[in-house]
A and B are shown apart, each in its own frame.
Chain A
Amino acid sequence: MLKRRRLIFSLLAIAPVIAIFGYVRIFPIGEILRLSLHKWDILSKNKPFIGLANFQELLGDRLFQEALLNTSIIAFGVLLITVPLAMILAALIFYRTRSRFAGFYETTIFIPHVVSLVPAAMAWKWIFDARLGPLNALLSVFGIEPQAWLFDPTLSLISVIILCSWQALGYAVLIYLVGFKNLSKSLYEAAKLDGASGFQSFWHLSIPLLKPITLYVGVATLVSAFNVYAQVYVLASDAQGAPGRQVRVIVLDMLENTFRNYRVGYAASEAVVLLVIVLILTFIQFSLLREKGARK
């Protein structure tokens, strides 16, 4: 009797939250899956079911392919810069935990992660600016020709990767720091007694022991980089101010198909591709973690 009353109370109390959650999360996720199988151009009332035709069209869509390629290059570029750098920085910061500057290190490396995206991106837009920017001025000191960082297709991708890595680094360092703090000290002391140098224990102890953290940070970095948009919007707008002309990414292509071409169903199929990519990455992370658990 008491148990039933408690059950009823809990269900009544959670109902409003679940209702909101259902309306703003579950319903739109269901809608995106449904719309991806339909043709809908906003203006017309009917949305005919067209099966996988949207996805078939995506396969031959040059703009989408360009977006997918650019997004993947950005995501893996950010991963390759962020993860090793974050691990080394976290190791150094952890080693100097008792330094009076420890708070300074954490704060300065983390600030780029929390400041608003747009002002931060504007700072980098100025740095990369071909005529006015300090980067080209700095390069010219070394006798390197000024580069059109934000207009050359390859260089503008590199610029976006630098900006995104600068922002992602603080988060990765923070998670690694938590990882280092949870490692057992006795292992390192034993290694030291055996005559291992700091570098050796980093290479042979920290890197393998932190593998779950590396997996988590790696997948989190990839997933957020696959959703890159604001950085491209600000950095890579062309001379007329049209955003993302130089670097097309998935989210941009999706929004353009929705709000400029009024092809909502088609845009939904792009969103589904993005979702599948994220699911695959998450699945790889989980299966690698499980593999490790099984070996134990």
Chain B
Amino acid sequence: MTTQIASQLSSGQLRRKRMALNLFIDAILIVFGLLMVLPLILLVANAFKTPAEMLSWPPSIIPENPTLENIEAVLSDTPLMLWIFNSFAFAILSALAISITSAIAGYLLAKFPSPIMSILFAIILATAIVPFEVYMIPLYFQAQSLGILNSLWGLLLGYLVMSFGIFLIRQNVVHSIPDELLEAARIDGAGEIWIFIRVVLPLLRGALGALFVLAFFQAWTAFAWPLIVATTKPSYTIEVGLALFQTGFTVDLGRLSAASAIVLVPSVTLFVLLRRNFVEGVASSGLKE
């Protein structure tokens, strides 16, 4: 009897101890998570502050006298909307190109084994290690000789294919599309292209979605390549436009924050909406082995 009570007591204590621990860990993680986004929140807040309030300590998160002056000033000073459009068009077209090339190459590499395919796959894997920064200078001269500097096509040249994307789709085809399915379609008289479009692509929807989002953000945040390829004001991407804008003499903090906020808010929103896809894509990139 007494032992029963004792054990009940200790299990109650244990549960309480456990709950306290969980609460403690939650508290740590919440504070850490807030600290991670605090710089961005403050930046967005600054966009709506008057110069005087920006200097006050501690920095306020909700501006006391919110003003749209900074945003109006930056929109009239710079072609910010054009830069955002350039980045958006670049990111969408790059994501499309990468999805298409990866789907085709990934499927063929997985389902049409031959010595040539093995060699091609080995080459694609080997070049995956080479960082973009290593070969971007020769690529720049290729863009120059094609006459596509300072254009969307010049930007795209660096972001048409992704070794990892080809690899990702190939792995997905190997794991999720059985040979029997393809054979059955062939026996029914389906052509190879019909099979690819009607049978294979629908089965790859999840993987291609993740790859598309990954490729979109890769181009959206690209910096070194757009910086050297797009050197005229109307062809800047938003990253390049902002980076050059912030080195200007006359630029004040309010305008910089306003410009940054205009860029950050839509891309963070987009990320929160597409988080699942993105996490899937990144997570699979860590499992290359």
Chain B residues within an 8 Å CB radius of A224: 131
- Asked if A274 contacts B133 (CB within 8 A), the reply is yes
In whole angstroms, what is the CA distance A140 to B111 when docked?
65
Chain A residues within an 8 Å CB radius of B72: none
A49 interface hit (Cβ, 8 Å):
no
In whole angstroms, what is the CA distance A258 to B184 when docked?
56
With A28-B138, A119-B263, A251-B224 as contacts: A111 and B268 at CB distance below 8 Å: yes
Contact size range, A: 35 or more
- Asked if A109 contacts B268 (CB within 8 A), the reply is no
In whole angstroms, what is the CA distance A168 to B46 when docked?
25
0 or 1 for each of B85-108: is its CB under 8 Å from A? (1 = yes): 000000000000000010011001
- Asked if B137 contacts A271 (CB within 8 A), the reply is yes
- Asked if B108 contacts A10 (CB within 8 A), the reply is yes
In whole angstroms, what is the CA distance A89 to B33 when docked?
10
- Asked if B286 contacts A118 (CB within 8 A), the reply is no
- Asked if B253 contacts A126 (CB within 8 A), the reply is yes
How distant is A226 from chain B, measured CB to nearest CB, in Å?
8
How distant is A93 from chain B, measured CB to nearest CB, in Å?
7
| Chain B interfacial positions (CB closer than 8 Å to A) | 22, 25-26, 28-30, 32-34, 36-37, 39-40, 42-43, 46, 54-55, 57-59, 101, 104-105, 108-109, 112, 114, 116-117, 120, 123-124, 127, 129-142, 157-158, 160-161, 163, 192, 217, 220-221, 223-224, 227-228, 238-239, 242-243, 246-249, 253, 256-257, 259-261, 263-264, 267-268, 271-272, 275, 278-279, 282-283, 286-289
| Chain A interfacial positions (CB closer than 8 Å to B) | 6-7, 9-11, 13-14, 16-18, 20-21, 23-29, 31-32, 35, 89, 92-93, 95-96, 99, 101, 104-112, 114-120, 122-127, 132, 134, 137, 166, 169-171, 174-175, 177-179, 212-213, 216-217, 220, 223-224, 226-227, 229-230, 233-234, 237, 241-243, 251, 254-255, 258-259, 264, 267-268, 271-272, 274-275, 278-279, 282, 289
Other 4 A-B pairs with CB < 8 A, given A31-B135, A123-B42, A258-B140: A105-B29, A116-B221, A174-B283, A216-B289
